[in-house]
């Protein structure tokens, strides 16, 4: 674990917490510590409710019209607009706080969210040797006595300088090979790509461009598409220099995300497959996702201020349907019993051939799949989290639009997929959205006043609610008794926030005057809760079935890894409270964030990892849940908060009884 | 040597010759036997001069207005319209013959022209296992217990049934894989292609289509483009059935040829390279040759009445410039000292990627090159003639627009190229044409009357003269004293056929009334003879330099192989007479016809030959003649008929003195 940088003590409750990042937002520190401060605008400074007094230590804080000059002199600040740059003692004035007793009992659970720099440590023996790499060469110019072909001369020098032999060549490069060699006066940089059959020469540039070696990695999700731009060269340098260098921060140059434009043709993979069977449907879907990827690439290049010819590699991980649609491969049979994908291993293809706007030498690596419903994103997650290398019995859960689950260790891996629905990515949720700026990602509710404390991503005006916010909100609604275990609102509470709206009963998280323009009230409806319960129920049931298939139970697990696009601040206890996760020892949980990007990053950095990706996909034995009656029983049993089998959640039940 | 089928005896000179083909043309039989029969129309029956009397035996012959009913009853026939189907005794009546004494002295030299069926015997240990081949499979349909991916299922079955493993897949096939498998109800034929790194799956068809396995081979010459359609399956069957089956006749389904349309941008490779440096020039040249290949493919498919989806492979051999132009690779540096090609080994590429109109699964195999002026056509010829397998010291000469020469055996190979010019392909010759229907391919001239005997290809009306006809004509003009050894016409001969025309002095081979419409008189000019002399001089000089480079002379040769597009009936003695070939023992000569097609055929039939092609290209050491002063001396010395060094041609000189 990293060392804390600052400590903040909150008064009057005398709660001290460690802060790991210089400049951390004070409202977030309070939220993480389980210290309630009123905040109804998401953290953008407009409601003015989160006033605190800085008793000791330095902060950076914005002036606000909500704080008088007199208050400012007394040390009043808005917590949401204040950065922690020192050890602090803070007093929360009465108007900003509530009695914390109801909340304090629920804090204390450890959050194992790994920081980016720790992710590479999940896998063992990672050496940095990117699958696509560059070599600088100075060739002797041809003479009458040495006038072999240009390609032969290049290969001879690669062999002499780097010992690589039997390199194949991309045909398209040959068309400019001779010109570039001469324009560069025989001082050139070659780009080679590793593949299972050896090396392939894909690009040639004038001069020494070895420093320009970037990879773009894309997670093609059913609901959300995410991209990152990685600097492969910086990573190599960082890795070779020393331990403790923050390699990951160095090499992550930019990131971007957007909704998958295919959403307009259907929310889940099944509706997309249905659309693909219409005339022109496959082309529409293919062009939609390629357009999204092109948009993301444009944005990444712009953010990092680099040219497209500095890119060497494109790595994409997606579920099986997304992968086939991206490649223009008809997904029809994924949906038809017995659920057969076209291929699990896709040959390398030049990105331009599927319409991606990158220079024509760039090859697309597509993560291998396991089955129709366990795709490359899951293989990437299993790879990235190192399960396949360890003896520990690990359960890996990736919560996206589908919930995919993998169980096993270095010796065996079984996996399955359950139709979880896109609730955690904002789908099927009235004010749902993906984890982007303005999304509510953390929620606490005052058990007495039923008033919420919400924080949005980027402390922006509220736009909606993302997965982690939804889990928080559902758990809080349950813990505060606003909803029943069946997800229905109590009709008789003394608060205006619970009301009958257009879509039935709902709870108002943020009123329209505190949300972004045009958004209106941000609410959670009974329909949203229903979707959430079905989602969490499917995942929990899937885990049970997978464990049962090998004669094990949750108690046997050494580790439970959670991947997925919930947003940054998923709260373990809240996830257990609603029965999404089993009630096991908190120290067994590990959150790894986006598994697809995690694995893609490793494959960009390491050709051994690329080999391992194939091996992992081969290792994974798929278990089908469709038509599985035991799964249906488990699913129905899980459609309750936390579960109909209350004995499996003793801790949650104890709290519920205490608060009820 | 094959067994003769019939014998024909010509009276009154009592000359008996063997006939190897049932239905052979009687005029051709006479020509081959050195028996003169008047014939001035090329053999199409219009001049009526070649009357003969059938004394004994059966013939098939056409009635002709030139033969009266009475003559027909007496056994008169036109030799040019008569087929030999029996042993014959023929009388040549006085009006059809001349005193043969002047000609007979020149007959008797053996002609070693291999028939197609013998060509495969040039190489040792040829097993028929085409580089592109098909396998029929019946797959178990997927079930709930066995629902691996479609591609995985296919690979599993290929491995089970045929033991092939680690097969890569062409990306584009995946887009239709699942559909075809199901439409075919899991009974399919796969097409696999061998390449140095293993096998690649390129096509999948419903049902058993293993019988539809054709290859198209193309010789991309500077002047002429030739194509053949081969039936790979028939070849396999023929080969496995028995010796003596005429495998080659079975598998050659169609052939076609046309001029290289690039000719409009320049006659030789240098002028093409110059054009390629103009704006849009490379694209123009690339599209021109691709258009020619597309035309030939269309014609081949039409001739053989097969669909393009029955084609499995496309093999192309050309010189280095033609190859680079075809692939769209700038040939600029081929022309600039030190004469460096872009690549000698081109990676396989799908034919559609360079604009060839064939189904998108078909891969293009391009023969490897040796240097800027020794290209894939020569490697194909060396491969096809088996030089690289034998201990015999062999000189290989390919006469096309350039003259390329290879010397060596199984242990070593040296090669060079000399700018011979396109005279033998009809270029730079007033009535020159390639070896196609209507081209004069054989010429004899009566030494007393100076009247010619000409035979055209296909016995069509004369269109022009091809390489073999030109060699015959030049030799006859020299032997009959119509021209001097410097290639100039004697001005004072008693014949109208030698005259001063628009382009200077010339000899009329066929008058306009016997030539095809619009052709006019077909003549040989002093300019034509000058081009011919320079062409043969360059080739002879090149051979001398190559031999000298390894301290050898013509006398050391065990074999001299001639390849090239001369037409079918090149006459060895005539070629020696003009000094194109050295005067060595006739039995050492071997004519193999088109070397590029010969090698391409072997590569289509045998993946071992494909491996050998690369090995042969690697073995060949290139010697540059450009800027080689010794070559210039040898060249100037050879600009004479037969040569300034008359001691090297004692036999020719003896005949010339006898006839002079």
Handedness of CA A506, A508, A511, A512 (dihedral sign): negative
Any idea which fold A215-366 has? Nucleotidyltransferase; domain 5 (3.30.420)
Residue of A nearest to B364 (CA): A171
What is the rounded average pLDDT of the residues B315-323? 97
Rg from Cα positions in chain A: 27
Nearest CB to B343: which of A174, A371, A372? Answer: A174
| pLDDT single digits (tens) A333-378 | 999 999 999 999 999 899 999 999 999 999 999 999 999 999 999 9
For residue B628, the model assigns a pLDDT of 87
Cα dist from B388 to B113, B396, B399, B405, B614, whole Å: 20, 11, 20, 14, 12
Closest CA to A53 of A86, A81, A89: A89
**Residue in the structure block whose two tokens are 């953008």:** A44
pLDDT of residue B565: 66
pTM of the model: 0.82
Mean pLDDT, rounded, of chain A:
88
Smallest CA–CA distance, residue B584 to chain A, in Å, is 33
Name which residue leads in pLDDT, B478 or B21.
Answer: B478
Q: Compute the nearest-CA separation of B126 from chain A (Å).
A: 27
Q: Residue B67's pLDDT is what?
A: 86
Nearest beta carbon to residue A178 from set B174, B332, B627:
B332
* Mean pLDDT within B587-597: 89
**Can you give the pLDDT at residue B98?**
52
8 A C-beta contact, residue B399 and residue B424: yes
- Please indicate whether, in this complex, the C-beta atoms of B177 and A342 are within 8 angstroms of each other: yes
DSSP codes joined into one string, B198-222: EEEEEEEEES--TT--EEEEEEE-S
- CA dist B83 and B22 (Å) reads 8
| Nearest chain A Cα distance for residue B628, angstroms | 11
Q: CA geometry: angle at B255 spanning B254 and B258, to 5°?
A: 150
Instruction: Return d(Cα A229, Cα B64) in angstroms, integer.
Output: 84
| Predicted local confidence at residue A593, as pLDDT | 84
Pick from A147, A344, A347: CB nearest B149: A344
d(CA B613, CA B598): 12
Compute the nearest-CA separation of B37 from chain A (Å): 54
Q: What is the 3-state secondary structure (H, E, C) of B241-304?
A: HCCCCCHHHHHEEEEEEEECHHHHHCCCHHHHHHHHCCCCHHHHHHHHHHHHHHHHHHHHHHHH
Q: How many CB atoms lie within 10 A of CB B630?
A: 13
Q: Which residue in A53, A51, A29, A55 sits closest to A41, CA to CA? A: A51
Could A168 and B197 be called an inter-chain contact, meaning their C-beta atoms sit closer than 8 Å?
A: yes
B338–A147 C-beta distance less than 8 A: yes
Cβ atoms of residues A563 and A399 within 8 Å: yes
User: What is the arithmetic mean of pLDDT over A238-257?
Assistant: 59
User: Residue B246's pLDDT is what?
Assistant: 38
Chain B closest-CA separation from residue A627 CA (Å): 10
Pairwise CB contact (< 8 Å): A177 & B343: yes
CA distance B442 to B456: 7
Rounded CA separation B400/B317 (Å): 13
The Cα B565–Cα B425 span in angstroms is 7
Which residues on chain A are in Cβ contact (under 8 Å) with B198? 197
Candidate from A345-359, B293-307, B431-445 with smallest mean pLDDT: B431-445
Q: Which residues of B touch A626 (CB under 8 A)?
A: none
Beta strands in A196-323 (DSSP E): 198-206, 214-220, 224-231, 252-259, 311-318
Interhelix angle A607-619/A376-384, nearest 10 degrees: 120
pLDDT digits (tens, 9 = 90+) for B92-121: 887 776 543 333 333 333 333 444 445 556
| Averaged pLDDT, A538-546 | 95
d(CA A467, CA A421): 12
Residue of chain A with shortest Cα separation from B326? A175
Q: To which H or E segment does residue A322 belong?
A: helix A320-327
What mean pLDDT comes out for the span B612-635? 93
Residues of A in contact with B370 (CB under 8 A): none
Q: Which residues have C-beta within 8 Å of that of residue A365, sequence separation ≥ 6? A: A131, A313, A314, A315, A316, A348, A603, A610
Task: Kindly give the pairing relationship between strand B620-622 and strand B413-418.
Answer: parallel
Q: Do B371 and A147 touch (CB under 8 A)?
A: yes
Q: What is the distance in angstroms between the Cα of B201 and the nearest Cα belonging to chain A?
A: 11
Q: Would the pLDDT of A101 be above 50?
A: no
- Each residue's pLDDT tens digit, B547-571: 999 999 999 999 999 998 665 567 8
Mean pLDDT of chain B: 88
Contact state of A347 with B144 under an 8 Å Cβ cutoff: no
Backbone φ and ψ for A437, nearest 5 degrees, come out as -50, 130
Cα B225 to Cα B260: distance, rounded to the nearest angstrom? 6
Q: What is the mean pLDDT of residues B339-366?
A: 95
Those residues whose C-beta lies under 8 Å from the C-beta of residue B34, and which sit 6 or more positions away, are B15, B100, B103, B104, B106, B107, B108
Least confident of A385-389, A399-403, B264-268: A399-403
Q: Flag whether pLDDT at A120 surpasses 60.
A: no
Q: How far apart are CA B579 and CA B9, in angstroms?
A: 32
In chain A, the percentage of residues whose pLDDT exceeds 90 is 64
All residues at 6 or more sequence positions from B590 whose CB lies less than 8 Å from its CB, including other chains: B112, B114, B385, B559, B560, B561, B562
Residues A132-176 have pLDDT tens digits of 999 999 999 999 889 999 999 999 999 999 888 889 999 999 999
Across A514-518, B201-205, B407-411, B551-555, least confident range: A514-518
The 10s digit of each residue's pLDDT in B369-379 is 999 999 999 99
Q: What is the pLDDT of residues B509-529, one digit of tens each?
A: 999 988 988 899 999 999 999
Q: How many CB atoms lie within 10 A of CB B63?
A: 11
pLDDT band at B545 (very low <50, low <70, confident <90, very high): very high
pLDDT above 70: percentage of residues in chain B: 92
DSSP E strands, A363-497: 363-366, 394-399, 403-408, 413-418, 439-445, 452-456, 464-465
pLDDT (0 to 100) of residue A112? 39
Nearest CB partner across the interface for B330, out of A153, A179, A329: A179
- Chain A residues in contact with B146 (beta carbon < 8 A): 338
CA separation for the pair B478, B402 (Å, rounded): 25
Least confident of A365-379, B47-61, B264-278, B488-502: B47-61
Instruction: Give the per-residue pLDDT at B111.
Output: 38
CA–CA gap between residue A152 and residue A148 (Å, rounded): 6
Residues 6+ apart with CB under 8 A from B94: none
HSE, side-chain direction, 13 A CA sphere, residue B579: 34
Angle at A36 between CA A34 and CA A37, to 5 degrees: 140
Taking domain A386-422+533-659, whether its CATH number is 3.30.1300.10 is answered by no
Most B-contacting residue of A139, A333, A376, A415 (CB-CB within 10 A), to test interface: A333
Q: What is the predicted pLDDT for the residue at A252?
A: 83
pLDDT in tens, B22-46: 888 888 888 777 777 777 777 788 7
The domains of chain B are located at 6-100, 132-206, 214-372
Given a contact cutoff of 8 angstroms between Cβ atoms, the answer to whether A544 and A405 are in contact is: no
Contacts of A344 in chain B (CB under 8 A): 148-149, 151-152
- What is d(CA A604, CA A608) in angstroms, rounded to the nearest whole number? 10
| CB nearest B151 (choices: A147, A343, A353) | A343
pLDDT-based confidence at residue B241 (cuts at 50, 70, 90): very low
- The 10s digit of each residue's pLDDT in B489-514 is 999 999 999 999 988 999 999 999 88
**Where residue A251 falls among pLDDT bands split at 50, 70, 90?**
confident
* pLDDT of res. B235: 60
Reference B358, options B318, B404, B312; nearest CA is B312
The bridge status of strand A198-206 relative to strand A214-220 is unpaired
Return the SS3 of A195.
Answer: strand
Question: What residue of A is the nearest CA neighbor of B195?
Answer: A168
Q: Which DSSP string corresponds to B381-436?
A: HHHHTTGGG-SS-EEEEEESSSEEEEEE-SS-EEEEEE---SGGGTTTSTTB--SS
Sheet holding B464-465, edge to edge: B452-456, B439-445, B464-465
Q: Can you tell me the distance from the alpha carbon of B136 to that of B190, in angstroms, rounded to the nearest whole number? A: 6
- Number of A/B CB contacts below 8 angstroms equals 144
Q: Mean pLDDT: which of A66-80, A199-213, A421-435, B417-431 is highest?
A: A199-213
Residue of A nearest to B342 (CA): A150
Architecture of domain A6-97: Roll (3.10)
pLDDT for position A426: 82
The first and second tokens of residue B1, run together, are: 């040597």
Best of B142, B147, B180, B336 to disrupt the A interface (most A CBs within 10 Å) is: B147
In sequence order, what are the beta bridge partners of A452? A445
Of A235 and A451, more confident: A451
Contact by Cβ (8 Å): A471, A574: yes
- Please give the biggest Cα pair distance in chain B: 97
Q: Classify the phi-psi angles of A76: left when phi > 0, otherwise alpha if psi is within -120 to 50, otherwise beta.
A: beta
Which of these, A378, A426, A380, lies nearest to A535 by C-alpha position? A426
Out of A144, A170, A340, whose CB is closest to B149? A340
Q: Which of B142, B170, B174, B346 to mutate to test the interface with A (most CBs of A within 10 A)?
A: B174
CB B179 to CB A346 under 8 A? no
Per-residue pLDDT at A99: 40
Q: CA end-to-end span of chain B, whole Å? A: 36
Closest chain B residue to the Cα of A621, Cα to Cα: B148
Q: Using the beta-carbon criterion (under 8 Å), do A624 and B330 form an inter-chain contact?
A: no
CB contact under 8 A, A333 and B182: yes
Closest CA to A643 of A581, A587, A572: A581
Asked if residue B306 has pLDDT above 50, the reply is: yes
Contacts of A371 in chain B (CB under 8 A): 147, 149
Domain A6-97 and domain A132-206, same fold? Reply is yes
- At B147-171, the pLDDT tens digits run 999 999 999 999 999 888 889 999 9
| A326 → chain B, closest CA residue | B175
Using CA coordinates, name the residue in chain B closest to A341.
B149
Q: Which of A224-238, A412-426, A573-587 has the lowest mean pLDDT?
A: A224-238
Contact A342 B149 (CB under 8 A): yes
Q: What is the pLDDT of residue A89?
A: 92
In angstroms, the Cα distances linking B286 to A331, B262, B359 are 38, 8, 20
Q: Which CATH number is associated with domain B6-100? A: 3.10.20.30
Helix, strand and coil in chain B, % to nearest 5: 35, 25, 40
The whole-number pLDDT of residue B108 equals: 34
Domain B214-372 belongs to what architecture?
Answer: 2-Layer Sandwich (3.30)
pLDDT given for residue A176 in this prediction: 95
Residue of A332, A340, A346, A352 best to disrupt the B interface, most CBs of B under 10 A: A340
DSSP-assigned beta bridge partners for residue B226: B219, B257
Cβ separation of B333 and A150 shorter than 8 Å?
yes
Average pLDDT over residues A67-78: 88
User: What class is the B132-206 domain?
Assistant: alpha beta
Assess whether pLDDT exceeds 90 at residue B196.
no
The token pair at A214 is 């970037």
* Chain A neighbors of B151, CB-CB under 8 A: 342-345
Task: Specify the higher pLDDT residue, A69 or A579.
Answer: A579
Residue B584 pLDDT level (bands cut at 50, 70, 90): very high
């Amino acid at each position: 674990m990293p060392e804390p940088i600052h400590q903040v003590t909150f008064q009057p409750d005398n709660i001290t917490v460690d802060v790991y990042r210089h400049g951390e937002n004070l409202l977030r520190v309070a939220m993480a510590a389980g210290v309630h401060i009123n905040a109804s605008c998401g953290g953008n400074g407009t409601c003015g409710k989160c006033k605190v007094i800085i008793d000791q230590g330095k902060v950076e804080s914005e002036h606000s019209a909500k704080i008088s000059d007199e208050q400012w002199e007394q040390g009043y600040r808005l917590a949401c607009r204040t950065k922690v740059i020192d050890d602090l003692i803070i007093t929360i004035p009465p108007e900003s706080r509530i009695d914390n007793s109801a909340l304090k009992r629920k804090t204390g659970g450890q959050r194992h969210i790994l920081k980016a720099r720790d992710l590479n440590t999940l896998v063992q023996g990672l050496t940095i040797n990117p699958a696509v790499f560059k070599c600088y060469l100075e060739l002797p110019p041809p003479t009458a006595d040495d006038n072999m072909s240009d390609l032969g001369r290049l290969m001879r020098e690669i062999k002499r300088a780097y010992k690589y032999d039997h390199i194949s060549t991309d045909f398209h490069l040959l068309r400019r090979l001779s010109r570039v060699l001469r324009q560069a006066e025989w001082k050139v940089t070659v780009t080679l790509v590793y593949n299972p059959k050896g090396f392939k020469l894909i690009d040639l540039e004038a001069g020494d461009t070895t420093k320009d070696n970037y990879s773009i990695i894309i997670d093609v999700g059913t609901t959300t598409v995410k991209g990152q731009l990685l600097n492969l060269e910086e990573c190599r340098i960082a890795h070779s220099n020393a331990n403790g260098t923050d390699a990951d921060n160095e090499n992550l140059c930019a990131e971007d995300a957007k909704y998958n434009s295919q959403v307009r043709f259907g929310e889940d993979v099944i509706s997309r497959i249905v659309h693909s069977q219409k005339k022109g449907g496959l082309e529409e879907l293919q062009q939609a996702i390629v357009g999204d990827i092109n948009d993301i690439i444009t944005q990444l290049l712009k953010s990092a201020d680099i040219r497209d010819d500095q890119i060497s590699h494109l790595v994409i991980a997606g579920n099986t349907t997304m992968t086939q649609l991206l490649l223009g491969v008809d997904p029809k049979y994924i949906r038809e019993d017995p659920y057969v994908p076209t291929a699990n291993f896709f040959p390398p293809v030049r990105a331009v051939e599927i319409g991606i706007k990158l220079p024509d030498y760039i090859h697309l690596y597509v993560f291998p799949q396991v089955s129709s419903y366990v795709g490359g994103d899951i293989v990437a997650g299993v790879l990235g989290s190192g399960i396949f290398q360890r003896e520990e019995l690990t359960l890996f859960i990736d919560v996206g639009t589908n919930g995919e689950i993998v169980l096993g260790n270095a010796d065996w891996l079984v996996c399955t997929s359950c139709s979880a629905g896109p609730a955690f990515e904002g789908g099927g949720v009235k004010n749902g959205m993906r984890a982007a700026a303005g999304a509510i990602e953390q929620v606490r509710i005052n058990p007495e006043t039923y008033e919420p404390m919400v924080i949005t991503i980027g402390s922006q005006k509220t736009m909606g609610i993302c997965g982690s916010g939804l889990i928080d909100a559902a758990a809080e609604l349950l813990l505060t008794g606003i909803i029943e275990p069946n997800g229905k609102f109590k009709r008789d509470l003394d608060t205006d926030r619970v009301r009958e709206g257009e879509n039935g009963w709902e709870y108002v998280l943020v009123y329209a005057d505190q949300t972004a323009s045009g958004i209106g009230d941000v609410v959670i409806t009974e329909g949203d809760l229903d979707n959430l319960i079905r989602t969490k129920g499917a995942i929990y049931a899937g885990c049970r079935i997978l464990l049962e298939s090998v004669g094990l139970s949750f108690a046997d697990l050494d580790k439970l890894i959670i991947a997925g696009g919930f947003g940054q601040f998923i709260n373990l206890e809240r996830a257990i409270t609603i029965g999404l996760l089993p009630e096991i020892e908190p120290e067994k949980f590990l959150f790894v964030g986006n598994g697809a990007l995690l694995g893609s990053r490793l494959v960009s950095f390491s050709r051994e990892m690329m080999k391992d990706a194939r091996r992992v996909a081969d290792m994974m034995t798929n278990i089908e849940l469709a038509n599985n009656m035991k799964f249906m029983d488990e699913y129905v049993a899980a459609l309750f908060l936390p579960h109909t089998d209350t004995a499996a959640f003793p801790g949650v039940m104890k709290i519920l009884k205490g608060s009820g």
